């Protein structure tokens, strides 16, 4: 047993204070974590993704080898993912598996210590999970994790749910939102953050009509009681209420913080990035600037009171959620030190603010942007553009930028290009289709950026591929006669635009439904129809016979007997015929713009890694990240690939990142961008790594879950170390 593990187990055995109510709670420990540990998803509360460990250096990194591999053994059939960044405390690693089990491992060997299944006694719901939260008061230690609509508190020693937290170990994320959200999707993809004895938690909600609101909430770490709630969609007499239609807070959803947060412990400020209001792509029923959607919020961490804010997109109709937790850093500006906060965006911008006041370090300009051509939509006339640094991803596309990989690919791209609306960044969605560059997933994405504490250099990876945003008139959910449609017709009308007529999906946001009966039960499919899931909206408005018919069609079963007009459903059928969405337009579906050869429709690079000196706003370097074996075999230079997962940076002079489609992890010289090491992975590492030290040996660990972009899924964590 390692010394760190022994210390953890001994401390955990002293949990007699758990659940006591006669004594006041002890103050939480806020001292800096030991340099050996990686106690927070982002490395530390300020989300720097930085480690002061320097055993692995430029001189010896080529000697790195696999130290251990842990297979979770629970990857389900079909597509699954592991997006988690493991945390390491006192020689023990805590993380999640493809089915959202929580595991504790010995960090020096990958040996299992305990496992926790959050779905015992209930239907399993798989969704993206990016890690867990650790809290201690110096005596007691807890792990917090979210699974479906529940937030659990676990004993860090045993992995058992703590019965005095909430309802026998968990609290319901759907409670306390001020409206009925029973049929709405509510999960938490990113772990919350700790401030003293508070767990501050965001959520991911649906993308369409009927979505839940995105309140930011703080819970008592011992009892699970709600301590404060910030309304990101303001209610009467709250600041920002006048930027929405009257009473929008009663019906509009979203404006949620799904990407994670950062905490300035010394100042007592939590920095909260928020996403768009819903529905994502049509804002006619939520006209106005819509604060505090698409906003970096600085809140008093103890009370939830707003200190300052900056909205990065006004009246978002492009799904331009702030995609990652911001980075706290210190820069030299005009000869003085400035404690700052940097926020990356899907559009490829980096916004930099004074951490205390919210004053921009570099000027930000409001510039005119294109108007919408859809009746009923009023796009905001200007959007904010930082003057420095320059965008880290392409934001404009001309015919000269289209792919030239082959004459056929170029011809296909050119023909499509000439049919699309393309008026630059912030061109609104349209009936004929609008080019969105960077795409819906960025630019910047949930992997986030890393900051070198020594130099103030920010390292950020970007996907550099175009997507297409198209809207169409909303289809009826019923028929003129009120008669229910067969399952094939329901699928064609409600599902095929995203899942495709052959049910193959897109390998990423939209999963394949081929063979779904082998992976999901009828009950699970029905639940997803009712609540929605991830980017899929709820289809609760479908008539009951149509839901039954659709489930039967997907499961490959005979169509159910159609209900007749003299049945108990007759009234429902009559009332719901020609039922329409509140919005006059619906989103056609998430489409990456690819040519018939399967590659992006523009010239490379398609994925990059950049180093930006945040003291000056100037770039130190930018390189393609990732390669396609098929193109390399043809003599094509590395093109970069679409990327998911972020970098970390170390005092050893290195930047580590996986994130690519080619199943590799790489190390770069942080000063020059030269690649100095790489290694194959058992599946793509669509996650951010972490680094730590046990018994004097430094490790780098990465989750190898694959599953996105059509990549094969995996179930492994792989740790590397020097011999």
Share of the chain above pLDDT 90, in %: 77
Handedness of CA 596, 602, 603, 609 (dihedral sign): negative
Q: Which of 1-5, 47-51, 75-79, 267-271 has the lowest mean pLDDT?
A: 1-5
Residues of the chain by 3-state class (helix, strand, coil), percent to 5: 15, 30, 55
Query: 574 versus 429: which is more confidently predicted?
Result: 429
Domain count for the chain, please give it: 1
Sheet containing strand 336-344, edge to edge, reads 327-333, 336-344, 350-354
Any domain includes 90 = no
- Overall average pLDDT of the 301-312 stretch: 98
H-assigned helices in 120-233: none
- Overall average pLDDT of the 676-692 stretch: 98
- Overall average pLDDT of the 585-606 stretch: 94
In the DSSP assignment, the letter for residue 121 is T
CA 528, distance to chain mean position in Å, is: 19
Any domain includes 539 = yes
- Overall average pLDDT of the 244-258 stretch: 97
Answer yes or no: are the C-beta atoms of 249 and 278 closer than 8 Å: no
**Would you say residue 712 has pLDDT above 80?**
yes
- Dump pLDDT digits (tens) for 389-434: 999 999 999 999 999 999 999 999 999 999 999 999 999 999 999 9
DSSP 436-488: ESSBTTBSS-TT--EE-TTT-EEEEEEE---EEEBEEEPPPSS-TT-PPPPHH
C-alpha–C-alpha distance, residues 528 and 536, integer Å: 8
Handedness of CA 516, 522, 528, 530 (dihedral sign): positive
Note the pLDDT of residue 21. 30
Note the pLDDT of residue 19. 31
Burial of 184 (0-12, 13-18, 19+ CB in 10 A): buried
**Would you say residue 558 has pLDDT above 90?**
no
- Overall average pLDDT of the 631-652 stretch: 97
Answer yes or no: are the C-beta atoms of 130 and 83 closer than 8 Å: yes
Give the relative orientation of helices 544-555 and 487-494 as an angle to the nearest 10 degrees. Answer: 90
**Residue 6 zone, left/alpha/beta (φ > 0; ψ -120 to 50; rest):** alpha
pTM over 0.95: no
C-alpha–C-alpha distance, residues 370 and 429, integer Å: 11
In the DSSP assignment, the letter for residue 362 is S
CA 292, distance to chain mean position in Å, is: 19
C-alpha–C-alpha distance, residues 644 and 622, integer Å: 17
Note the pLDDT of residue 6. 40
Handedness of CA 218, 105, 103, 662 (dihedral sign): positive
Any domain includes 562 = yes
**Would you say residue 24 has pLDDT above 80?**
no
Note the pLDDT of residue 581. 63
Name every residue whose Cβ is closer than 8 Å to that of residue 334 and which is 6 or more positions away in sequence. none
Any domain includes 502 = yes
Note the pLDDT of residue 406. 96
Note the pLDDT of residue 572. 42
Any domain includes 572 = yes
Residue 513, domain CATH: 1.10.760.10
Note the pLDDT of residue 449. 98
CA 583, distance to chain mean position in Å, is: 26
| Residue in this structure with the two tokens 């927070």, named with its chain if needed | 40
DSSP 313-353: SSS--S-----S--EEEEEEETTEEEEEEEEE-TTS-EEEE
Cis peptide before 570 (omega within 30 of 0): no
Arithmetic mean of pLDDT over the chain: 90
Name every residue whose Cβ is closer than 8 Å to that of residue 452 and which is 6 or more positions away in sequence. 50, 458, 459, 649, 670
Long-range contacts (CB closer than 8 Å, 24 or more residues apart) made by 305-309:
306/230, 306/239, 307/269, 307/358, 308/357, 308/358, 309/358
- Overall average pLDDT of the 271-275 stretch: 99
Any domain includes 500 = yes
- Overall average pLDDT of the 35-55 stretch: 97
- Overall average pLDDT of the 110-122 stretch: 97
- Dump pLDDT digits (tens) for 447-488: 999 999 999 999 999 999 999 999 999 865 455 455 677 877
State which residues form the domain around 557: 475-580
- Cα of first residue to Cα of last residue in the chain, in angstroms, is 20
């Amino acid at each position: 047993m390692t010394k760190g593990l022994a210390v953890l187990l001994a401390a955990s055995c002293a949990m007699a204070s758990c659940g006591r109510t006669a004594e006041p709670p002890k103050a939480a420990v806020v001292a800096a974590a030991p340099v050996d540990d990686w106690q927070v998803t982002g490395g530390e509360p300020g989300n720097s993704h930085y480690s002061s460990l320097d055993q692995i250096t430029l001189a010896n990194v080529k000697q790195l080898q696999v130290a251990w591999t842990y297979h979770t053994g629970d990857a389900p059939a079909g597509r699954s993912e592991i997006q988690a960044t493991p945390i390491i405390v006192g020689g023990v690693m805590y993380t999640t598996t493809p089915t959202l089990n929580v595991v504790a491992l010995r960090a020096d060997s990958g040996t299992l210590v305990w496992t926790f299944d959050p779905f015992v006694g209930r239907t399993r719901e798989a969704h993206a999970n990016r890690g867990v939260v650790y809290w201690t008061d110096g005596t007691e230690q807890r792990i917090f994790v979210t699974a479906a609509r529940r937030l659990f508190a676990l004993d860090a020693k045993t992995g058992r749910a703590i019965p005095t937290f909430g309802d026998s170990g968990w609290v319901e994320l759907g409670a306390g939102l001020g409206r009925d959200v029973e049929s709405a999707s509510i999960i938490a993809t990113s772990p919350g953050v700790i401030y003293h004895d508070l767990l501050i938690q965001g959520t991911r909600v649906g993308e369409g009509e009927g979505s839940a609101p995105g309140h930011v909430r703080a819970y008592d770490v011992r009892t699970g009681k709600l301590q404060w709630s910030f309304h990101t969609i303001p209610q009467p007499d709250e600041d920002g209420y006048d930027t929405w239609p009257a009473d929008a807070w009663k019906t509009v959803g979203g404006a949620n913080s799904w990407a994670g947060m950062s905490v300035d412990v010394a100042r007592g400020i939590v920095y909260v990035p928020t996403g768009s209001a819903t529905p994502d792509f049509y804002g006619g029923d939520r006209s106005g600037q819509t604060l505090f959607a698409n906003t970096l919020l600085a809140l008093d961490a103890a009370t939830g009171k707003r200190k300052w804010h900056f909205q990065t997109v006004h009246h978002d109709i492009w799904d331009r959620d702030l995609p990652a937790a911001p980075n706290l850093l210190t820069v030299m500006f005009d000869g003085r030190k400035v404690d700052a906060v940097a926020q990356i965006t899907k559009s490829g911008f980096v916004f930099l603010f004074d951490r205390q006041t919210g004053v921009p370090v570099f000027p930000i300009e409001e510039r005119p942007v294109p108007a919408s051509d859809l009746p009923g939509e009023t796009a905001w006339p200007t959007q904010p553009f930082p003057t420095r640094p320059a965008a880290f991803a392409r934001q404009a596309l001309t015919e000269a930028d289209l792919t030239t990989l082959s004459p056929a690919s170029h011809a296909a791209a050119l023909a499509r290009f000439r049919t699309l609306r393309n008026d630059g960044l912030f061109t609104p969605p349209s009936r004929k289709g609008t080019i969105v560059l960077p795409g819906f997933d960025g630019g910047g994405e949930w992997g986030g950026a890393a900051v070198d504490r020594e130099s103030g250099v920010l390292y950020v990876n970007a996907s550099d591929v175009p997507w297409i945003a198209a809207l169409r008139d909303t289809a009826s959910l019923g028929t003129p006669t009120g008669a229910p449609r067969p399952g094939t017709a329901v699928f064609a009308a409600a599902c095929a635009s995203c899942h495709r007529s052959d049910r193959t999906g897109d390998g990423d946001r939209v999963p394949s439904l081929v063979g779904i009966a082998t992976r999901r039960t009828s009950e699970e499919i029905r639940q997803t129809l009712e609540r929605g899931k991830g980017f899929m909206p709820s289809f609760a408005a479908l008539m009951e016979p149509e839901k039954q018919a659709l489930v039967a069609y997907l499961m490959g079963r005979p169509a159910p007997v159609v209900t007749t007009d003299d049945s108990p459903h007759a009234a429902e059928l009559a009332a719901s015929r020609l039922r329409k969405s509140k919005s006059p337009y619906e989103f056609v579906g998430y489409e990456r713009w690819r040519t018939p050869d399967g590659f992006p429709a523009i010239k490379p690079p398609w994925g990059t890694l950049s180093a930006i000196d945040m003291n000056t706003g100037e770039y130190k370097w930018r390189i393609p990240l990732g390669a396609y074996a098929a193109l390399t075999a043809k003599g094509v230079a590395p093109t970069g690939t679409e990327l998911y997962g972020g970098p970390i940076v170390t005092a050893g002079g290195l930047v580590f990142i996986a994130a690519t489609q080619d199943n590799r992890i790489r190390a770069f010289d942080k000063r020059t961008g030269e690649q100095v090491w790489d290694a194959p992975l058992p599946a793509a590492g669509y996650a951010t790594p972490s680094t730590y030290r046990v018994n004097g040996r430094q490790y780098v660990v990465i989750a190898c879950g694959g599953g996105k972009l059509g990549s094969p899924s995996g179930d492994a964590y792989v740790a590397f170390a020097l011999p």
